[in-house]
Every structure is written in C-alpha cells, then in structure tokens.
C-alpha cells in the first residue's frame, strides 16, 4: 500500500543570495514545511543562519559545475536516507504544486505516485521592457505575469531515488516523468537590475578550467551587452494566450518551446 503521507524535503545551494534566499525559504516552507528545508552555502564565509533552517558550507576555492553537481547529488542521497522525496532547486527557482483537486496536498499526491523522478513544467519569468524594477517585498508573478516554457527549463527536480543529473541540472541520465501538476518558475530573467548585478558577480568567479573547457556556466560569464541582447530576444518573442494554451499543443517536454505568454491566472497568487 502506498504511503499517503511521505516525508518531503527541499534544499538549495546558493551563493550570496540576499534577495532570493528569504523568498525561497518562505515559498518552500509553504510547500513542504520549514523544518524540512536545507541550505548549502557555496562560499567560504560563515554559515547562513536562518531560524529553524539547517545549513552547511560547501567550500570551493574556485567555481566548478561538476563539483557543484557532485555536492548536490551527495546531499540528495543523504536526504533520501530519511526522506521519501527530495526536491532540489537553485535559489532562483520556485516549484509550485498545482493540485488535481483543491484538497490534495503535495504529500498526499506524492504518496500516490509510482513514478520515481518527476520533471516539472519549466517557466522562464521575463522582465518586460520598461517595467518598474521588481519590488521583492511584494508578490512576484503579479509584477511579472508573462513567461515562456522551454524544454531546457523543464527540470527533473523532484525525486524519490538518486537522480543522475548532468551539470546545470537541466537534463538527467535517469528516467523521469513530466508532471503537469508541478510548475517551476525560474526568476533569473525576472528583473533586469538583479540579472545584471548577478552577472557582474559570477563573471568574477575563479572558474575551473574543467568548466570553461566544457562550456559549463557560459551564461554566467558573458558580457553585459550579450546578456541584454539575449533578454531583449526573450522580450520580443510574444504571443497572445496563456501557457496552458501552449501545453495543450504538446505532450513532449523535449520539444516544447513557447513564446512569452500569460501565466495562468490561478497560479498568479502562488509566488
């Protein structure tokens, strides 16, 4: 008999995320409970201290996507020793559960699943041109009501077994199932001011030769002009309708690629 109330944990690995980390904590506290959150700090500074949250330092003298991947895999496997399901996300990624009916919780839903690794509907939330800067103290999606779904953003982040991700966590060598009840909102491009600030920081990282040679993390090292050109490309590719309309046209997460469209109204209050 399936366990209807499995234990579910969520964790992130972050670096100086002063803006988004408190939002991540609040959002995932609502999803799985504050007592089930874990933060890995990818820095050489003092551990992050947030009341009720377990944290650890992942020290590296340089930035290496493969070592970052291995650290996340190790922590996922450790958490799976005491939890039935484990969610991993970057600190600018927010998973929202869109239940099949109003009274179903994420724990009840996962307890009924036979699939072992779930792939989310991945949405890039985009800062529209000439919009006011994001007010991070207020709900996010009402300020940024448009996004685009891409196969690259549809990450497999919810697992009941160890997940054999590739660097960047966009793809995995493990078998996964696309689940339309889990939406993953990626906020990297949601605010141009923050985007450019983070780029100026990540560009200064001492990147490992391994990551540079393989091209891992390339978008974290581009020039300001290249990033703005990419952001403007996202902005100009718009279409009427909602992302639900796009989902009705395909069932294959490996080929989906939507223009910028309205986020479904029932999800607007979720983040």
Any idea which residue has 């933060």 for tokens? Answer: 39
Looking at residue 1, its pLDDT comes to: 39
Contacts of 257 (CB under 8 A, 6+ apart): 148, 149, 150, 151
Whether residue 5 has pLDDT greater than 60: yes
Instruction: Tell me how long the chain is.
Output: 271
pTM (2 decimals)?
0.92
Per-residue exposure over 7-26, b if at least 16 CB sit within 10 Å of its own CB, e if not: bbbbbbbbbebebbbebbbe
Query: Which of the four pLDDT bands, split at 50, 70 and 90, describes residue 14?
Result: confident
Compute CA distances 168 → 29, 45, 182, 216, 237, whole Å: 24, 24, 19, 8, 25
Compute CA distances 6 → 1, 9, 39, 86, 113, whole Å: 12, 10, 21, 10, 11
Region of poorest pLDDT, from 95-99, 127-131, 266-270: 127-131
Report the SS3 class of residue 214. Answer: helix
Whether residue 258 has pLDDT greater than 50: yes
pLDDT tens per residue, range 213-237: 777 777 788 898 999 999 999 999 9
């Amino acid at each position: 008999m399936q366990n209807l109330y499995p234990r579910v944990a969520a964790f992130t690995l972050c670096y100086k995320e002063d803006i988004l980390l408190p939002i991540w904590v609040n959002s995932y506290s609502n999803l799985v409970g504050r007592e089930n959150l874990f933060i890995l700090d990818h820095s050489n500074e003092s551990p992050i201290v947030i009341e009720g949250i377990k944290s650890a330092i992942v020290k590296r003298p340089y930035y290496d996507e493969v070592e970052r991947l291995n650290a996340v895999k190790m922590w996922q496997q450790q958490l799976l020793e005491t939890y039935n399901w484990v969610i991993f996300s970057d600190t600018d990624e927010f998973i929202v559960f869109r239940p099949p009916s109003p009274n179903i919780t994420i724990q009840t839903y996962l307890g009924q699943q036979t699939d072992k690794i779930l792939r989310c509907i991945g949405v890039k939330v985009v800062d529209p041109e000439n919009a006011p800067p994001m007010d991070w103290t207020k709900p996010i999606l009402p300020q940024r009501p448009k996004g685009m779904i891409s196969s690259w953003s549809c990450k497999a982040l919810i697992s009941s077994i160890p997940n054999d991700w590739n660097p960047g966590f966009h793809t995995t060598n493990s078998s996964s199932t696309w689940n339309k009840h889990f939406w993953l909102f990626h906020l990297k491009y949601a605010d141009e001011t923050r985007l450019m600030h983070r780029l100026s920081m990540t560009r200064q990282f001492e990147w490992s030769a391994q990551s540079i040679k393989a091209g891992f993390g390339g978008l974290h090292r581009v020039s300001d002009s290249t990033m703005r050109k990419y952001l403007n490309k996202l902005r100009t590719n718009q279409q009427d309708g909602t992302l639900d309309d796009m989902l009705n046209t395909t069932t294959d997460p490996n080929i989906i690629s939507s223009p910028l469209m309205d986020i479904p109204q029932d999800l607007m209050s979720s983040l």
